[in-house]
Chains A and B, each alone.
Chain A
């Protein structure tokens, strides 16, 4: 009796205890996790991680998950896409060129309310230009952490001394021709002096390089009074083809290709295979334009006392001859995404990372100039002071970065500018390689850019998409399909047994039916609907009617270009691949020793990772020490090589496969043959399915090898060939990876495959409606091509069909 009641009491007690423990743990605070994305690279990341640790110490209960996305372009696409996909970070690094896209869509929070609620926060301590650049419609969205004037020149003091030129103090100027009377006050004269040629007339040392050609062009454009648009926050006019801009771009091209003060991209990526910074560190260039963020890398490469060290410093980029000083700039800060579950903590993180502690850490590491002016000028933080360690005494003239701030000029920050900018950038490769003058390219860019700009401005006034109508249409389509499926059998009565069989069958195919509805039919209908809309899946969809299709065919230059590219690739690569596969299969179907080994060897490349293959083939296409050119040109050049060079427009120089408009696509086609092994296996299977007795009978009849092939092999192989061709065509329309890894669609869009362009439209520009229209156009084309192939398949020989 007592035992009973004791055990009952014990049971009740443990129940109560368990509840208490559960309740307690529910109340115990889970650490708040903030997701924090940056595009900083290795060196900066270490500093950031250190600063984050301090933040976590000062804010117990908050954990920060750092998510670096080191590729700058990928970063900004991802920000938009992550938000569109409902998985944005809490706090994100951001810059003036990209924040408006988010702010205009209400994806990031305005920071003014936070600032108001933080007593003692002084926004005016920050450099005005960078604060303004991060504001939209009067509100600030990004708290700046650094400003990065790019109008800076690193210079090699030793080389200046050798040439007898006094060190530049920033007061120099430039003009469109050298002015030797000004001596070292003329930038161009200095460039002339510092360019060294060897006995053969080839440049052995260049005077100058900017981090990438366009940087120089931009700097020259701004300082000579040119520009790209008529207003930064809300541009309505593209001005890239104004005479001043054209002149500046042409001059930049001449710097590389005419005067040879600066190596062009073929030389840097081909012969030298180095970045501009590496060229500076190895003294192949005497001066180097870039922002201050290269300092950590240069400090790593040039250690006082170690081999290869030389004295260096920075100075301001020269002003234009009329005294105008203006240069592009970078700058970044942090913003808070809407949808964060912890806005208060997110603000704390933002304030901390864009505050004195973090800025000082970045500044001391030489990575980023603080956005707070007083910090930038405090000795020992950014500019060197008595406490600065020896290794960080370089560059001595750090204060130049503060001097450059009043002259910075930002690019347009309008949210629609990036897609306009995309049109402005196409074709520039030709200018940098000297293959084209700047004027025609910029004129074309002007046209395309303005078209795009006008289209985007028009898009601001569209009516909302009628989803009810859309859904009704979709349901109607589904009903039509169901009707088509079941109509023929409507009058057939099933016996009980047959009904049972039917029921069982449907149970089996139910996963497929669900799959088709959810993953195939449904999406198809949705994408058809979307193709008539303008939708970025963040803001509500707008009705565009057939405009998407019209824009594709008429307005968008990339549409026809990418279609042509894909078509050319398909029409060459597929037959070539099938032919190669057939040849290989024939060769490998013989009874020779070691055949399985050979088969494996030819098959393995098609198993290789596409990304890895793209990387190695990029090496193979290298103009100067790549495998392909080594075979074509041999030691002393061959007839084939010379002909190719002439066609490429660079006689005397090796063909730059991936850098040359005419040769990039052929290069990719050659690469596709390497993957023919996959098709080979199918061909072998097809060959082995041919009964041997046919051959034996033919031999008995006295047939030779060739006639056996023509009469037996070929006809009986036609189904396999047909299959390979059809699937090959469908597959090649969807080529994608190589474009992404090897060429990014260039040069000059000559490898911008249709699928890649679609991907960019959908996931980089977030023009989902437009991309859907593009997908349907492709679908229609594929259908037509496949149908034609089937129509023309009279040549396919089918044996007695056993269906």
Chain B
């Protein structure tokens, strides 16, 4: 216990003073550091956004303007005609592209969510013959490059007359939905407390009921995560539609943009307008559902 002598009191005061000064300095340093960080981030963001900015700017310029003005200059007049031209090209129906992408991505995502949950459940909760070895099999298919199966599946679809239909892009999603998604769901399901299961079991629930009434409702976050991943992946898929879709009215946005490029080789103002159109849906969806993107990945706990 320090004595409250006049000398020690002033010594304490000096210490306290020193502490306060040091703390203030530390605070200032942190504030400066934060400012520097903010500037670095800002410059970085500007650089990162530049390609997109260029895209938007070029999509609103006339070809003459593009050749003449600098890439950074905002267009003198907003040339909305470019977009009109893009949307009214009869050989590249952008509305149909959008519709097709939506159909394929939605049905695919639904399939992934449903079937990966179904398949993950027994791996997470049930005991069955061959479970561990089957799980290893599951994990190893995660590392399979699509290349190896691409050609034979094409041959299979050829005999089924499924080429130039949406089926090859949707049906596989309903049969397991991808090893990675099953794995994620399983990890997540294993984190659901068993007490819930047991409570339901005592009440006479079958495994099926436990799945539908207990596990599934609690897996919302994981389902949202893999749903988002699956949706984005399918939406951006290029090689799948390239191989399986040939008629323009069946093409997706990604493939359609490439088709459009083939029709308008050097017309940059149109190509950029088309690019902007193609990018808008995903970006809008991202802005609306930002929280789920990051939160979901955090929850999946990559191991």
Contact = CB atoms under 8 A, between A and B. Distances in A.
Nearest to B180: A727
A723 interface: yes
A612 B55 contact: yes
A609 B152 contact: no
Given A45-B91, A524-B148, A681-B293, 20 more contacts: A273-B67, A486-B130, A509-B119, A511-B174, A511-B176, A518-B175, A519-B175, A537-B158, A587-B40, A588-B41, A590-B34, A593-B38, A596-B290, A602-B45, A607-B282, A609-B278, A611-B258, A612-B276, A625-B71, A719-B303
B148 A776 contact: yes
B206 interface: yes
Contacts of A733: 145
From A590, A594, A604, A776, name the one whose CB has the most chain B CB atoms within 10 angstroms. A604
Interface of A: 41-42, 45, 67-71, 74, 78, 81-82, 84-87, 273-275, 481, 484-486, 488-489, 492, 494, 498, 501-502, 504-506, 508-509, 511-512, 514-516, 518-520, 522-524, 526-527, 530, 537, 584, 587-588, 590, 592-594, 596, 598-605, 607-613, 615-617, 619-620, 625-627, 630, 674, 677, 681-682, 684-686, 688-689, 719-720, 723, 730, 733-734, 736-737, 740-741, 755, 758-759, 762-763, 768, 771-772, 775-776, 778-779, 782-783, 786, 798
A299 B221 CA distance: 62
A612 B127 contact: no
B263 A41 contact: yes
Contacts of B275: 609, 611-612, 615-616
A596 to B, nearest CB: 7
A615 B44 CA distance: 22
Contacts of B297: 681-682, 684-685
A599 B291 CA distance: 11
Contacts of A512: 115, 119, 138, 175-176, 182
Contacts of A783: 143
A592 B45 CA distance: 14
A718 B301 CA distance: 13
B147 interface: yes
B41 A587 contact: yes
Contacts of B71: 619, 625-627, 630
Given A518-B175, A610-B238, A526 B145 contact: no
B122 A615 contact: no
Contacts of A615: 257, 261, 271-272, 275
16 contacts: A70-B262, A85-B164, A86-B163, A87-B164, A489-B130, A526-B152, A587-B37, A603-B286, A609-B236, A609-B275, A611-B257, A611-B278, A612-B278, A685-B297, A736-B239, A741-B261
A527 B148 CA distance: 7
B129 A494 contact: yes
Contacts of A677: 48
Contacts, number: 304
- Overall SS of chain B's interface: helix
Given A520-B141, A779-B145, A84 B126 contact: no
Given A511-B118, A686-B302, A736-B238, A70 B91 contact: yes
Interface string B41-74: 1001100111110110010000000010011000
B120 to A, nearest CB: 9
Interface in B259-303: 261-263, 265-266, 268, 271-272, 274-276, 278-279, 282-283, 286-287, 290, 293-294, 297-298, 300-303
Contacts of A759: 239
Contacts of A516: 137, 141, 176
Interface string B141-154: 10111111111111
Contact of B145 (A70, A598, A730): A730
Contacts of B131: 505
A723 B300 CA distance: 13
Given A524-B149, A527-B149, A730 B143 contact: yes
Contacts of A609: 236, 253-254, 257, 275, 278-279, 282
Nearest to B140: A783
Interface in B120-137: 121-123, 126-131, 133-134, 137
B83 interface: no
B208 interface: yes
Contact of A605 (B48, B207, B271): B48
B3 interface: no
B202 to A, nearest CB: 15
B48 A601 contact: yes
Contact of A682 (B37, B207, B266, B302): B302
Interface in B206-261: 206-208, 211, 232, 236, 238-239, 242-243, 246-248, 253-255, 257-258, 261
B246 A87 contact: yes
Nearest to A49: B90
User: Which has the most chain A C-beta neighbours within 10 Å: B55, B149, B255, B266?
Assistant: B149
A262 B154 CA distance: 45
Nearest to B207: A504
Given A504-B206, A602-B48, A608-B279, A681 B239 contact: no
B294 A685 contact: yes
B37 A523 contact: no
B302 A723 contact: yes
A620 B51 contact: yes
A691 to B, nearest CB: 13
A685 B207 CA distance: 33
A217 to B, nearest CB: 22
B76 interface: no
B172 A509 contact: no
B155 interface: yes
A41 B119 CA distance: 49
A504 B45 contact: no
A85 B151 contact: no
Contacts of A590: 34, 37
A213 B269 CA distance: 26
B298 A782 contact: no
B95 to A, nearest CB: 17
Contact of B300 (A527, A611, A617, A685): A685
Residue among A481, A515, A524, A686 with the highest chain B CB neighbour number at 10 A: A515
A688 B122 CA distance: 30
A84 to B, nearest CB: 7
Given A42-B263, A273-B67, A522-B152, A741 B258 contact: yes
Nearest to B282: A607
B41 A592 contact: yes
B186 to A, nearest CB: 11
Contacts of A594: 38
B233 to A, nearest CB: 11
Contacts of B153: 519, 523
Given A511-B175, A524-B148, A612-B278, A598 B41 contact: yes
Nearest to B50: A627
A75 to B, nearest CB: 10
Contacts of A601: 45, 48-49
Nearest to A609: B278
Contacts of B137: 481, 485, 516
Contacts of B166: none
B127 to A, nearest CB: 6
B185 to A, nearest CB: 12
A791 to B, nearest CB: 15
Given A275-B266, A602-B48, A615-B275, A85 B157 contact: yes
B258 A685 contact: no
B201 to A, nearest CB: 11
Nearest to A676: B48
Contacts of B78: none
A523 B52 CA distance: 40
B286 A607 contact: yes
B148 to A, nearest CB: 5
A513 to B, nearest CB: 8
B151 A768 contact: yes
A486 B148 CA distance: 26
